[in-house]
Structure 1
């Protein structure tokens, strides 16, 4: 128990089967809306260099799927936005919270991306709150995703700062070393953290990490996620 909240993870839970009201699984509507756009599936590949590059991002956007481009090609972010917009596609990028990122965000006024993800290991921080506020001031129409966090207090603070969605999960991913290096994280209780955070949220939650099987996607949705970020299942 954590503050009288039960602790559990994906392997501890099975969903209860209820009556089916459709004739075929093909009839199920799996679409999800984030901001002004609707996507075919509530799944997004992890914004990691080993999972996603510009070509994959382009194909996902063309197919009607959500993506978040990683932040590790800093010089390529503005050309990437232009490349996507020139094709009539959404631009979804990541930023950090270092000082030079503020100048970068301000440079985007002429061609603002539809989505910006603030991507750091511990998102419940004044630095993230400051960046959310800066993006919303400079690019008020851009959908801001902030994270990563693992508590309802963090979700509320980031939402109150202006975040349009929050990414939940610290260290549950198969290759993530945060929990090992720091001793902090949601590894081993990611699904409980998702439920805990979703109950506090007023805006969409993106579950990030700990997904090992396709059934874990369904469990994430049942416990409050609007979108699920996955690395290992997409790794080649």
Structure 2
């Protein structure tokens, strides 16, 4: 038995001391970009994110819809692994089909398809245009397109067929699969098009829509691969990894991550070794979670692409009270960061750290990044948003989103916690979180706060923030001083309004 000579501290127990804000410290100059996977010191990481935020490997959080939205704003999602391999691979593939500026058709119809059916499919998928193929299948020979501008059900009738209202291939401007986005947009504006079909061997591989032009300008931070497809991650486990990893790689997953509350195990090392033997440096697998330098070094030596830090600090995690293991998130980070930096100096390899847990608000995110995290993983934060897959419901006049942990009975993820296929006890809860609106709005607000914090600390990039940040522990009295209760004025009760 050994007792560490320290107090286990959380991110709430520190404040940042302002640094010199120079004339260079402006919002436009601040770069929140971070490496996602291991790389040689002095070289660029093969995968970077412009927004250092990734979504948790959870059923209530990481759906394809959220993955697309988060990648568009510069982050990355990890599709959860508590599902059949083929279903997870399909989710990954759905995200990879979203090429920045290029999109696959969600609706494909045949010439004899009734217009009423076309209208229903377009409404269900919230799309405005359908591809027409000879077979009515996505891989069929391209014949033309039909959009909501080409017909009106009251005028043309629901039973009339697509062939009578479609725009045929011969009258369309098309492009080859090698076309760049800039050239595609040039064709759209030059020929006054609303849609440009992109073809390969007589089949549609993607569409470029005029309405997406502004979106492309808006999402200039998007996390994309070399083919301009959105990047996406996927969770794996240390049991069926020999089957799951190949399927996810085939589907196009850019990075994988072992999903476990405690990653300091030979099981994770064996999984990492399998990926290395099968794919070498072409497949990246993150590992964790850990709370000290010993565990970090073990996983880094085994080939982890990045290491997640945090046990028991999540909003819906009850590991500490159920099993008595864990560590305050700040203490864990400070320990692992020190080892990470020493490891980089010794080996010449930099292994990024992901702070996973203990992040209750935006200031905690700033603290985690200041302490040395390269990026942060969030569950509750994203579960609150429109793009998460959970239900939105009203309770007592307030809107909420459902949220449950992977260690809860609802998740039925017993194997993740070593319970041999049957949930004997829970390490997570099932509940609700206050609804918070759009991911796009929330992430932009968080980015603004992180940028402002870095400016106050005199840093314009995360590496400088790691190096120069000055932190101070906060006493109980300091908490009292900043927590004085006031009555917030509301217009409805303000006599002057």
Task: Report the TM-score when normalising by structure 1.
Answer: 0.90
Matches within 5 A, 1:115-126: 115-126=255-266
Q: Which whole-Å CA distance do the structure 2 matches of 1:216 and 1:110 have between them?
A: 37
> Once the 2 structures are TM-superposed, how far is the Cα of residue 149 of structure 1 from its aligned partner?
1.0
Q: Report if the CA contact (8 A) 2:54-2:78 is conserved.
A: yes
Q: Give SS of 2:76's match.
A: coil
Please say if 1:48 is aligned against 2:189: no
Q: Which whole-Å CA distance do the structure 2 matches of 1:146 and 1:14 have between them?
A: 29
> Once the 2 structures are TM-superposed, how far is the Cα of residue 110 of structure 1 from its aligned partner?
4.1
Q: 1:172 aligns with which of 286, 309, 313?
A: 313
Q: Report if the CA contact (8 A) 2:236-2:257 is conserved.
A: yes
Task: Give structure 1 stretches of 5+ with no counterpart.
Answer: none
Q: Give SS of 1:139's match.
A: helix
Q: Report if the CA contact (8 A) 2:64-2:95 is conserved.
A: no
Q: Which whole-Å CA distance do the structure 1 matches of 2:8 and 2:92 have between them?
A: 41
Structure scoring higher RCO (CA < 8 A, sep ≥ 6) equals: 2
Q: 1:182 aligns with which of 303, 309, 323?
A: 323
Matches within 5 A, 1:220-231: 220-231=368-379
Q: Give SS of 2:48's match.
A: strand
Please say if 1:19 is aligned against 2:20: yes
Task: Report the TM-score when normalising by structure 2.
Answer: 0.44
CA 47–153 in structure 1, closer or farther in 2 if over 3 Å, else same? same
Please say if 1:91 is aligned against 2:253: no
Q: Give SS of 1:234's match.
A: helix
Q: Which whole-Å CA distance do the structure 2 matches of 1:51 and 1:42 have between them?
A: 17
Q: Which whole-Å CA distance do the structure 2 matches of 1:32 and 1:55 have between them?
A: 23
Deviations 1:51-72 (A, max 9, x none): 2211111222233322211112
Task: Give structure 2 stretches of 5+ with no counterpart.
Answer: 38-45, 99-228, 345-350, 385-497
CA 23–222 in structure 1, closer or farther in 2 if over 3 Å, else same? closer
> Once the 2 structures are TM-superposed, how far is the Cα of residue 81 of structure 1 from its aligned partner?
3.0
The aligned counterpart of 1:32 is 34
Q: Report if the CA contact (8 A) 2:51-2:73 is conserved.
A: no
Larger mean Cα displacement after TM superposition, 42-51 or 119-128 = 42-51
Q: Which whole-Å CA distance do the structure 1 matches of 2:246 and 2:70 have between them?
A: 27
Q: Report if the CA contact (8 A) 1:109-1:139 is conserved.
A: no
> Once the 2 structures are TM-superposed, how far is the Cα of residue 109 of structure 1 from its aligned partner?
5.5
Please say if 1:82 is aligned against 2:93: yes
Deviations 1:41-86 (A, max 9, x none): 1122222112221111122223332221111223312223333333
Q: Which whole-Å CA distance do the structure 1 matches of 2:277 and 2:252 have between them?
A: 12
Matches within 5 A, 1:91-170: 91-98=232-239, 100-108=240-248, 110-140=250-280, 141-170=282-311
> Once the 2 structures are TM-superposed, how far is the Cα of residue 193 of structure 1 from its aligned partner?
0.6
Larger mean Cα displacement after TM superposition, 175-184 or 35-44 = 35-44
> Once the 2 structures are TM-superposed, how far is the Cα of residue 191 of structure 1 from its aligned partner?
0.6
CA 3–171 in structure 1, closer or farther in 2 if over 3 Å, else same? same
Q: Which whole-Å CA distance do the structure 2 matches of 1:8 and 1:104 have between them?
A: 37
Q: Give SS of 1:67's match.
A: strand
Q: Which whole-Å CA distance do the structure 2 matches of 1:232 and 1:19 have between them?
A: 34
The aligned counterpart of 1:212 is 360
Please say if 1:193 is aligned against 2:204: no
Q: Report if the CA contact (8 A) 2:233-2:256 is conserved.
A: yes
The size of the alignment, in residue pairs, is 233
Q: Which whole-Å CA distance do the structure 2 matches of 1:94 and 1:204 have between them?
A: 17
Q: Which whole-Å CA distance do the structure 1 matches of 2:250 and 2:64 have between them?
A: 21
Q: Which whole-Å CA distance do the structure 2 matches of 1:181 and 1:79 have between them?
A: 35
Q: CA RMSD in A?
A: 2.0
Larger mean Cα displacement after TM superposition, 68-77 or 156-165 = 68-77
Q: Report if the CA contact (8 A) 2:79-2:92 is conserved.
A: no
Q: Which whole-Å CA distance do the structure 2 matches of 1:42 and 1:120 have between them?
A: 21
CA 86–185 in structure 1, closer or farther in 2 if over 3 Å, else same? same
Q: Give SS of 2:337's match.
A: helix
CA 162–23 in structure 1, closer or farther in 2 if over 3 Å, else same? closer
